[in-house]
Structure 1
Amino acid sequence: MTVEQIQYISRYTQNVYLVYDADTAGQDASLRGADILLEQGMNVYIVELPQGEDPDTFVLSKGSEEFMTLIGGAANIVEFKASLLARRSGSSSAPGAIIQSIVESLAKVGDAIKVNLYVKDLADKFGLREESIYQELKKRKSSQSRYGSDSSSGPSPKLPSLRLAIADRDLISLLM
């Protein structure tokens, strides 16, 4: 998923439902896609398919009504990441690492109101004080600004200059 694709989507909606295959690669793609979408200010929901399913075969075998039921139960980034990472670690015995990973995603959210809602959700889920989550967020954001974030590390793509376009046109006319 590219920033350009997200900007195109944002013309029509701010809500994006990610539906990838139920395997590890699909889950990882959901995490990557969610972070990019969060950076761009989108509301992200992740739909988890039953193990062994992919979106097209699920719809073909179960039908659109059951697919819409799954969409209705989509998780936000806090719920999805907490659940996924707890399953991967085998238990919730490592909540610190799970929380840090979620905070890393929340640090990409620019909207303070959205951050507040996510922090409340995270605090409730793990029985934490919101202040401690905000402290971690502040540390993450300051380290991102110090070292630069991943998305702004490269130069932004530029449109070809008018001079280059004219040169291309002239070259084409010479070849004809």
Structure 2
Amino acid sequence: MNWTKLWIVLLVLVLIVGSLGATVADQSEVRLGWPITTSLIIGFGSGSAAIGDHNGAVFGAAVDGIGLGSAIIGAFGLGIDWFGVGFGKGITGDTSSYEITTPLGKLSAGMIIGGGAVIAVSRVLQVIRTTIWGVSNNKKIREQAALDVALVPHPASDRIVLKAKISF
């Protein structure tokens, strides 16, 4: 028996099987560039949804919705305050510029600033969550697609036989 040929055949077999496992893992992995970009720019859970993280998508949509809703309500309140103060100044003949001095104006400005802050923090959290979830998901895919190849000795009555054991 020619041991050199046997080792070459086993090596080729291991390389072929290993490359098949790597190909399956490469095709199943999630690319993270676009989901991270959409998490940063668009938000509302779009990056998490793109990689299949449904909990992250719901979280992103809810938090961004709260932030945007707060900012929109604040903008309407500021518009009402501006119109009311401007109308009052027009009646009295006051020509000074508008300043946020009323309680409604201060509350509305605070809601706009708070809503913007919530959206900014949400974007950072969504990028972090998308990155962490995507990396851990890709790691799981690689581990599941991994192939173990081992040479196992099996003693016979007159010799020892090496058998290739492939598990995946």
Coarse TM-score class (shorter-chain normalised) = under 0.3
In the superposition, the TM-score normalised over structure 2's length comes to: 0.25
Q: Structure 1 or 2: larger helix share?
A: 2
**Which structure is higher in RCO with an 8 Å CA cutoff and minimum separation 6?**
2
Larger radius of gyration: 2
